[in-house]
């Protein structure tokens, strides 16, 4: 098996009973063709010996922040062998730089807390802060510890920084309690890492522009016209596109969401501001996905002062906002253009009309009259309509899974464009 051929995996093992499973994790990575460098904390060595992991990884196991010098280059192992100078390399920096991915399995509450707060008091915690490589943690601990708000808060913090978390499993724990906190089987962990590294290649080198959230069109200084979009759908697409290796530009209307890690975020308020930001990025991007719920109308004359309440009622004159997606459809050159259709009836015929009028490659339809799909909720149920008339239905899924489906559908369009460009000699 060569799924991880050429990959350098840095495996951090911390002090929990599940440390015994790290031996099988190392074997799994070796079988997949990876180089494995193990770093153990002091407490990890009470559960499993460095010699076991050294033998299986065929690499010196690192345990100390300040080791004495190595007898020879061979002893240092491929992760640490000096390259162009005779000077010894600084371990935590060399380890941090050479890794393609850092996996901590099992990860105790202690290391999770240290990483969330930037505490570097041993080799493992220091090299995680020093690395540019993606970091994956697989928590394993007593179920009460795992559920503790401090541990959950630390995990949320790590996720917001782009750290991947392999959820522990529920079951019978070493402490004789039943609950969530068990390290998944080694093959589940190895497969997670294989898929993670594979996904990171899928949009590598591509630039993706995503719009999300509502727009707000002012009526007066205190009131506006808007809609119920939370931004969740667009932010999920931006997050997954980044995880798949793309450079992502997210243009967002007002939302309560934090930017996904590593994404360039531009916050806007009105449809006109969104148009301006989108047109700025458009010439350089390969893909545009317009998940934003742009207000279709704005007030013709925005009042400078708060409108006073009158007995005779109030009539507002509205005008259309610019249709950003329709404009992109007119000027598009190399870009794959994907729109959304938020409908409450005649889903497919309305979507088909928008697909053609806006010159899209495909359109994602959601029935926004459903309580469990469309606006605000965590889940969505979509249909994708293509220019050749094909329609694909998908079941109700978390918005991140929907994002994976949409981005997966974009890949063949990108491949086609690349083939066309090659034939044109570009």
Catalytic residue positions? 175
What the block records as the tokens of 280 is 């700025």
CB 362 within 8 A of CB 215: no
Q: Which is nearer to ligand PMT, 167 or 320 (CB)?
A: 320
CB 114 within 8 A of CB 155: no
Distance, CA of 23 to CA of 16 (rounded, Å):
14
Site string for ligand PMT, 189-228 (x = CB under 6 A): ------------------------x---------------
Compute φ and ψ for 378, nearest 5 degrees: -85, -15
- Site of tokens 């949320």: 156
Does residue 232 touch ligand PMT according to CB under 6 A? yes
Minimum distance from residue 125 beta carbon to ligand PMT (Å): 36
Footprint of ligand PMT on 275-314 (CB under 6 A): 290-294, 296
- Number of C-beta neighbours around residue 258 at 10 A: 9
3-state SS assignment for residue 88: coil
Among 321, 347, 362, 406, binds ligand PMT (CB under 6 A): 321
Question: Candidates 46-54, 148-156, 162-170, 318-326 — which segment interacts with ligand PMT by CB under 6 A?
Answer: 318-326
Does residue 323 touch ligand PMT according to CB under 6 A? yes
Among 285, 337, 341, 407, binds ligand PMT (CB under 6 A): 341
Q: Which is nearer to ligand PMT, 7 or 275 (CB)?
A: 275
Minimum distance from residue 294 beta carbon to ligand PMT (Å): 4
Does residue 407 touch ligand PMT according to CB under 6 A? no
Minimum distance from residue 312 beta carbon to ligand PMT (Å): 31
Distance, CA of 10 to CA of 191 (rounded, Å):
16
CB 108 within 8 A of CB 148: no
Does residue 231 touch ligand PMT according to CB under 6 A? yes
Distance, CA of 89 to CA of 67 (rounded, Å):
11
- Nearest Cα neighbor of 325 from 366, 345, 353 is 353
- Site of tokens 């501001």: 273
Question: Candidates 89-97, 188-196, 368-376, 386-394 — which segment interacts with ligand PMT by CB under 6 A?
Answer: 368-376
Does residue 340 touch ligand PMT according to CB under 6 A? yes
Following CA atoms 183, 184, 190, 191 in sequence, which dihedral angle do they give, to the nearest 10 degrees?
Answer: -150
3-state SS assignment for residue 139: strand
Among 136, 194, 241, 271, binds ligand PMT (CB under 6 A): 271
Give the binding site for ligand PMT (CB under 6 A): 213, 229-233, 271, 290-294, 296, 321, 323-325, 339-342, 354, 366, 368, 374-376
């Amino acid at each position: 098996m060569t799924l991880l051929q050429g990959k350098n995996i840095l495996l951090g093992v911390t002090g929990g009973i599940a440390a015994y499973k790290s031996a099988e994790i190392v074997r799994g990575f070796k079988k997949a063709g990876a180089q494995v460098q193990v770093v153990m904390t002091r407490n990890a060595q009470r559960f499993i010996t460095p010699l076991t992991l050294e033998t299986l990884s065929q690499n010196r196991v690192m345990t100390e922040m300040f080791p004495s010098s190595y007898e020879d280059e061979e002893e240092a192992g491929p992760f640490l062998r000096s390259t162009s100078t005779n000077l010894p390399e600084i371990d935590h920096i060399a380890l941090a730089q050479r890794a393609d991915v850092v996996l901590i399995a099992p990860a105790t509450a202690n290391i999770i807390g240290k990483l969330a707060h930037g505490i570097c008091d041993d080799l493992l915690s220091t090299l995680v802060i020093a690395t540019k490589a993606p970091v994956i943690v697989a928590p394993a601990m007593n179920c009460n510890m795992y559920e503790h708000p401090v541990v959950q808060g630390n995990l949320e913090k790590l996720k917001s920084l782009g750290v991947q978390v392999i959820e522990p499993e529920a079951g019978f724990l070493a402490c004789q309690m039943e609950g969530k906190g068990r390290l998944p089987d080694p093959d589940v962990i190895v497969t997670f890492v294989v898929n993670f590294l594979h996904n990171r290649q899928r949009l590598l080198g591509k630039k993706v522009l995503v719009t999300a959230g509502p727009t707000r069109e002012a009526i007066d200084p205190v009131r506006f016209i808007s809609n119920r979009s939370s931004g969740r759908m667009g932010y999920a697409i931006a997050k997954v596109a980044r995880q798949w290796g793309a450079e992502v530009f997210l243009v967002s209307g007002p939302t309560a969401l934090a930017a996904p890690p590593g994404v360039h975020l531009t916050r806007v308020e009105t449809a006109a501001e969104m148009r301006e930001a989108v047109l700025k990025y458009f010439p350089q991007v390969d893909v545009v996905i317009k998940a934003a719920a742009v207000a279709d109308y704005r007030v013709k004359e925005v009042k400078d002062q708060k409108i006073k309440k009158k007995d005779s009622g109030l009539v507002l004159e509205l005008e259309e906002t610019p249709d950003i997606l329709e404009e992109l459809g007119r000027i598009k050159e190399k870009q794959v253009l994907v729109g959304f259709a938020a409908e409450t009836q005649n889903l497919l015929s309305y979507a088909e009309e928008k697909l053609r009028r806006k010159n899209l490659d495909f359109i994602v339809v959601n029935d926004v009259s459903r309580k469990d799909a469309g606006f605000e909720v965590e889940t969505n149920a979509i249909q994708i309509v293509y220019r050749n008339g094909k329609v694909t239905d998908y079941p109700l899924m978390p918005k991140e899974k929907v994002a994976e489906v949409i981005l997966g559908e974009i890949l063949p369009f990108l491949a086609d464009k690349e083939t066309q460009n090659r034939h044109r000699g570009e």
